[in-house]
Amino acid sequence: MNILTQWLRSYLPGLAVDDRRLAEDLTLRGIAVEGEFPASCGGTLYEMDITTNRVDAMNHYGVAREAAAIYGLRLEPLALTAPVAERRPGTGFPVRIEAEDLCGRFTARVIRGVRIGPSSGVIAEYFAALGQKQILAPVDVTNFAWMAMGHPTHVFDLDKIEGGIVVRRARDGEKLRLLDGSEKTLAGDDLVVADESKALALAGVMGGWESRVTEATQNILVEAAWFDPAAIRSSSRRHGLHTDASHRFERGADFNSAPLANHLVARLVVEQSGGEVEGPLVDVAVPQVAARTAERPAILLEVSQVRRILGITADEQDAGQGITEDLVARYLTALGCNLTRRGDGEYAVKLPSWRLDLEREIDLIEEVARVHGYNRFANTLPAFQGTVRELAHAAQEAAIRRTLLALGYSEAIASTFVSAEEAETFGCAELAGGVEGAVAMGNPLSAEAGVLRPSLAPGMATMLAHNLHRDVSVARLFEMGTVFSGSTAEVKERMGLALGATGAARTAGSLYKPEDGLFYEVKGAIEALLRKFSRAQDAGSVSFDASGLPDWIEPGRGARVRLNGELVAVFGELSAAQLQARKLRQPCVVASIDAQRLLADSLRQPVVAELSRFQAVERDFSFLFPDAVTWAAIEASLQGSAAQGTSPAREVSELRSVRPVEIFRDPSGKAVPFGSYSLLLRALFQSKERTLAEQEIASCTEWVVAQLKALGGVQRV
């Protein structure tokens, strides 16, 4: 938001520092000034970044209060008395709060005989400097009020109101035309300010068109209220509206500011547009809401705790002193707290109504440190006994990240929340430790983020789409994080892992078609990852099958991954429906991996073997195999593992490695029969003791041929 230093100084007549120093001191205390620009009214225009928990500082008076606390200055009170001259007698405007859980306070005041025109004086001057649009004087006054003291208000054309004011829930399907000209269909959870026959405004968000103030308006009703933050946030999100009023009500307005803001607006309306106040201020408050906001119980604060936690200050380091009792009282009093001494160095601290973010003693200690200045404390380390202990799965997590980074994948972070539809589509009980169900949020920010993610796959798909929509045509991403399953009554957490790849494959191969390169690249990454763990050290321990694939994978373009027969991952190309939903035009491969099972396993220990000094010999073998014979079975047969139900007749110690060079299928069935494939396999033989003779090589090749024939292979000549 934008703040004028000239406006600030009107509340701080004793402020002696220049605008540059003021900006630095505010920023050091968490009221960040991001930019400084000359203001047309004199002084400086601050562009400020106020954190969401400090709604009390989202106005000029709130920032001035911070400056007064920093420099120990007197803060001028706001002129909050209502105009009393020529007050018309009356009993006050009738107000009724029906939704007491959503509206804790509502104030109303009638002003009659106004003459509507443009704003003048300081309002026009400040608005011009801030770039704030001027509308009509009474409307400008309400904007001036929230910029001055932070509490949103509204003015109605009194003659458009039938009967009294009723604050109620909207009726399902009720229509309301707002000030921006849009017509909204309201839901039963929306809160409205209404009269006896119709809705007048969407409470805390925007006023209504029919009851707006125009140049023809003669009588005005000034409204200032307190609305429940969750209710305003829900209505704002539901109708796609984010206004200055909703921004503040969503974060918790000051319960006690409603009558004060009404006073300020009424006084300024009379000054700008004339007219006379009729009757007293009507102030309807709900005691239960007041008890949990403005009348919260006092917090016990011990000065010894302040000194223990904050330590000594750099200013007093030589003397070994820290924050004194007088400083604690001065800082907290300047911030609006009311301190009552309970004993030696103990205070009962009554919290100000505008600081809902203060709840515990540690919050008050933080306020003392903040106002004093974090930079003014000595750099000391807390006492520590014991040793630093590595997390149980730190080594495994580091190995996963190191492997994927080496393969060219970049780590990414997606949202923890997904939609209910995505949770149902991407959830997999087998990869969640057998736990079914998704965990729904009680008060989600939106329907697209209403469920805790049961898998990292939907977030990965979204991140790939995010890159593609921004002209990043090649992306390799991975994410490791917590996934959730079960129900709201019992939430189960596991560590999940997702890989995502889109764009041209980095390497081409003779074992697959070019269009399949991306799929096999991800498959290779999964194999490389699994081989880092002990359970994957045997040949054939990692297997793949294409049965039972989830709906988010394109049929025939995915696989399930098993480690020693246990499902650990599913991966494949996103289905056409998923691509269409994300407006994607190129294939994307996504893998969902149960990292929890990997973290429970130990890492393989590297084994160093002495390299042979003797010549290696390669031999190629061309065979026809039925489709039922997998590479895992061939590798297990030749490498000496009993996986896949096979075992070699005898081991050949000179066989160092086997790898497929080419796989060929003939769609016509002429060169290679249907249901079969041609495999060109390359074996490497090498002895550690001598150069192999022709007879030894021949014996080794005969053994390989025999093993392959035993699997049902037919040698091609």
For helices 137-149 and 60-71, give the axis angle rounded to 10 degrees: 30
Give the Cα separation of 417 and 414 in Å (integer).
Answer: 9
Per the structure block, which two tokens stand in for 399? 């190995």
Indicate the residue among 599, 625, 651 that finishes a domain.
599
Q: Is residue 387 part of a domain?
A: no
Per the structure block, which two tokens stand in for 21? 């120093």
Least confident stretch, 364-378, 437-451, 480-494, 504-518: 504-518
- pLDDT of res. 430: 86
What are phi and psi for residue 36, nearest 5 degrees?
A: -130, 130
DSSP 185-225: E--TT-EEEE-SSSEEEETTTEEBSTT---TT--EEEEEEE
- Nearest-10 Cα torsion for 462, 464, 469, 472: 160
Kindly state the percentage of the chain with pLDDT values over 70. Answer: 95
Number of domains in the chain: 5
Residue 85 has pLDDT above 60, yes or no: no
Q: Identify whether residues 265 and 224 lie together within a single domain.
A: yes
Q: What is the pLDDT of residues 131-145, one digit of tens each?
A: 999 999 999 999 999
- pLDDT of res. 1: 87
- pLDDT of res. 646: 41
List the Cα angle 220/222/223 in 5-degree steps.
140
Q: Identify whether residues 66 and 137 lie together within a single domain.
A: no
Confidence tier at 377 by pLDDT (50, 70, 90): confident
**Strands, E assignment, 426-522:** 451-452, 475-486, 491-502
Q: Which of 627, 619, 611 is nearest to 700 (CA)?
A: 619
Confidence tier at 79 by pLDDT (50, 70, 90): low
- pLDDT of res. 652: 77
What are phi and psi for residue 37, nearest 5 degrees?
A: -140, 145
Quote the mean pLDDT of the chain. Answer: 90
**Strands, E assignment, 57-125:** 95-97, 103-112
Q: Identify whether residues 159 and 271 lie together within a single domain.
A: yes
Q: What is the pLDDT of residues 396-413, one digit of tens each?
A: 999 999 999 999 999 999
561 and 594 Cβ atoms separated by less than 8 Å: no
CATH of the domain at 638: 3.30.70.380
Quote the domain boundaries for residue 666.
617-715
- pLDDT of res. 642: 36
**Strands, E assignment, 344-443:** 346-350, 410-411, 417-418
Q: Identify whether residues 408 and 539 lie together within a single domain.
A: yes
Q: Is residue 381 part of a domain?
A: no
Q: Identify whether residues 566 and 441 lie together within a single domain.
A: yes
Give the Cα separation of 264 and 259 in Å (integer).
Answer: 9
Q: Identify whether residues 234 and 112 lie together within a single domain.
A: yes
Q: Identify whether residues 124 and 244 lie together within a single domain.
A: yes
Residue 600 has pLDDT above 80, yes or no: yes
Give residue 545's identity as a one-letter amino acid code: D
Kindly state the percentage of the chain with pLDDT values over 90. Answer: 74
Over residues 17-33, mean pLDDT: 94
Q: What is the pLDDT of residues 463-509, one digit of tens each?
A: 999 999 999 999 999 999 999 999 888 999 999 999 999 998 777 66
184 and 240 Cβ atoms separated by less than 8 Å: no
CATH of the domain at 104: 3.50.40.10
321 and 312 Cβ atoms separated by less than 8 Å: yes
- Nearest-10 Cα torsion for 341, 343, 345, 350: -30
Q: What is the pLDDT of residues 522-560, one digit of tens each?
A: 999 999 999 999 888 776 788 898 888 999 999 999 999
Q: Identify whether residues 537 and 640 lie together within a single domain.
A: no
Q: Is residue 436 part of a domain?
A: yes
Q: Identify whether residues 140 and 24 lie together within a single domain.
A: no
Q: What is the pLDDT of residues 234-255, one digit of tens each?
A: 999 999 999 999 999 999 999 9
Give the Cα separation of 439 and 427 in Å (integer).
Answer: 11
- Rounded to two decimals, the pTM is 0.62
Q: Identify whether residues 339 and 431 lie together within a single domain.
A: no
Q: Is residue 89 part of a domain?
A: no
Indicate the residue among 292, 327, 352 that finishes a domain.
292
Give the Cα separation of 464 and 468 in Å (integer).
Answer: 6
The SS3 of residue 238 is: helix
CATH of the domain at 462: 3.30.930.10
Q: Is residue 77 part of a domain?
A: no
Indicate the residue among 321, 342, 376 that finishes a domain.
376
Q: Identify whether residues 464 and 545 lie together within a single domain.
A: yes
Q: Is residue 695 part of a domain?
A: yes
By the 10 Å C-beta count (0-12 exposed, 13-18 middle, 19+ buried), 556 is classed as exposed
Mode of pairing for the β-strands spanning 44-49 and 2-4: antiparallel
Q: Is residue 549 part of a domain?
A: yes
Q: What is the pLDDT of residues 605-647, one digit of tens each?
A: 888 888 899 999 999 999 999 998 988 889 888 876 433 334 4
Residue 317 has pLDDT above 50, yes or no: no
Over residues 588-599, mean pLDDT: 95
By the 10 Å C-beta count (0-12 exposed, 13-18 middle, 19+ buried), 231 is classed as buried
- pLDDT of res. 648: 45
Give the Cα separation of 209 and 199 in Å (integer).
Answer: 10
Q: Identify whether residues 592 and 645 lie together within a single domain.
A: no
Residues in the chain, overall count: 717
Q: Is residue 647 part of a domain?
A: yes
Residue 84 has pLDDT above 60, yes or no: no
